[in-house]
Amino acid sequence: MSETVITVSNVKRVYKTEVGMFKKTKKEVEALKGISFSIHKGEIFGLLGPNGAGKTTMIKLLTTMLIPDSGTISILGMDPVTQHMKVRPHINFILGGERNLYWRLSAYDNLAYFADLYKVPRQEQKNRILELLELVGLADVAHQRVETFSKGMKQRLQIARGLINRPYILFLDEPSIGLDPVSARKLRDILLKLNEQGTTILLTTHYMYEADELCDRIAFIDKGELITVDTPENMKRQTAGVSIIECKLTDVSASMIEELSRLPHVRHVKHEQDEIMTTVRLQTEMPQAVIPEIYKLVDEMSISDLAIMQPTLEDVYVQLVGGDAQ
């Protein structure tokens, strides 16, 4: 568990964009402001953060698709900037969504095509493709065109594509985006199975429970900066002694949320709204003191549920990245 396969030290990346045709104004966006971390062999490592935090930039840097402005990266002891052609055979990456496949080809042909691009010897190709289709549960539709597949099937085919060169390290950018719960479950099972077989995995995700279930370690990044790296267990321990009061409210205004967050002993408030009600989560060390205050503030009739629970990874995330600031 101690062998390091990826080392990132003090990596910075700025995007320069020119706006306007004639009066060119140069705009610089600091996507990464100096990030360092390392990933061990056989780990599942999660990269979490809000949109625009720099997750995709990080994945691009690690997969040789982009070069850092400063800082160094080492992948399997190689430099992806200068030795990208040597690195590429040993890694692969998968992007979320339905694209990034040839829809007019069959599942089998998609894999055969990329097998050739990764120079997999012909005699190995057939067995490996069948094996991978079996792994992702697409063996019976191997010769159907991808355009007839559901989202989940396409996503699983992407996984198979990403494994065609038996990579030591697999990168996944938002792999479960847009998947229904059953498909997302299948995807997680595949990733866990792969990890058992020894593949190191780095993934980005928006879904906290996914990260909690899958990842050995997690890095939170926000606005191009690394906030923390640790195991999910340790992270949750940071909130030791903290409880979560979750209440479901049928009628709530922005100002009321504001007032709730100003109650004594409340550390953070996060709210989520669906069609019927608003779920408000308050972090506090003294739930018994806070609950009566809630009843004073909010009309009793509009509280449809109220419970005290243990913090989840999401609450840690809220505490670190900031509450309702999205």
Partner 1 sequence: MAALQRFFRHSVLSYKALFGWLEPKVYLFVMVLNPLSQLLFFAVLVNYVYGGEGLAGYIAANALLLCVMNSVFGMMSVITSDRGMGTLQLVMSTPSNKASLFISRSLAHVVNGAFTAVLGLAFGILLFGLSIPFDAFLSLFVIWLVSIFSACGLGLIIATFCLWSPSMHLWSNLLASLLLLLSGANYPLSVMPAWLEQLAVFIPLTRGVRLTKDIVNNGDYSQMTTLLSQELLLGCVFFIISLLLIVYAEYLARVKGTMDLE
**From candidates 40, 41, 88, 223, binder to partner 1 by CB under 8 A:** 88
- From the list 20-28, 86-94, 182-190, 196-204, the region that binds partner 1 by CB under 8 A is 86-94
Q: How far apart are CA 64 and CA 50, in angstroms?
A: 23
Count of residues that bind partner 1 according to CB under 8 A:
33
Give min distance, CB of 77 to partner 1, in A: 17
- From the list 45-53, 99-107, 131-139, 311-319, the region that binds partner 1 by CB under 8 A is 99-107
Q: Whose Cβ is closer to partner 1: residue 83's or residue 228's?
A: 83
27 is a site residue for partner 1 (CB under 8 A): no
Q: How far apart are CA 320 and CA 171, in angstroms?
A: 25
* Local structure of residue 322 (DSSP, 8 states): -
Give min distance, CB of 118 to partner 1, in A: 6
37 is a site residue for partner 1 (CB under 8 A): no
Q: Whose Cβ is closer to partner 1: residue 125's or residue 279's?
A: 125
* Local structure of residue 243 (DSSP, 8 states): E
16 is a site residue for partner 1 (CB under 8 A): yes
101 is a site residue for partner 1 (CB under 8 A): yes
**From candidates 1, 2, 17, 255, binder to partner 1 by CB under 8 A:** 17
Give min distance, CB of 21 to partner 1, in A: 13
**From candidates 93, 149, 220, 317, binder to partner 1 by CB under 8 A:** 93
**From candidates 63, 204, 239, 278, binder to partner 1 by CB under 8 A:** 63
Q: How far apart are CA 65 and CA 219, in angstroms?
A: 21
Helix axes 107-117, 151-162, angle to 10 degrees: 30
Q: How far apart are CA 239 and CA 318, in angstroms?
A: 11
- From the list 115-123, 234-242, 247-255, 264-272, the region that binds partner 1 by CB under 8 A is 115-123
Cβ pair 313, 236 in contact under 8 A: yes
Residue numbers 140-179 binding partner 1 by CB under 8 A? 161
Helix axes 287-297, 254-261, angle to 10 degrees: 150
Give min distance, CB of 102 to partner 1, in A: 4
* Local structure of residue 99 (DSSP, 8 states): -
Tell me the longest C-alpha to C-alpha distance in the chain. Answer: 73
Helix axes 151-162, 122-135, angle to 10 degrees: 140
Query: Concatenated DSSP letters for 129-173?
Result: HHHHHHHTT-GGGTTSBGGGS-HHHHHHHHHHHHTTT--SEEEEE
- From the list 112-120, 203-211, 214-222, 294-302, the region that binds partner 1 by CB under 8 A is 112-120
Q: Whose Cβ is closer to partner 1: residue 88's or residue 206's?
A: 88
Phi-psi region of 159 (alpha: psi -120 to 50; beta: other; left: phi over 0): alpha
122 is a site residue for partner 1 (CB under 8 A): yes
**From candidates 36, 52, 77, 104, binder to partner 1 by CB under 8 A:** 104
Q: Whose Cβ is closer to partner 1: residue 118's or residue 168's?
A: 118
Question: In Å, how far are 105, 136, 192, 206 from 131, measured between CA atoms?
Answer: 19, 9, 17, 30
Residues that bind partner 1 (CB under 8 A): 13, 15-17, 63-67, 85, 88-89, 93, 95, 97, 99-105, 109, 112-114, 116-119, 121-122, 161
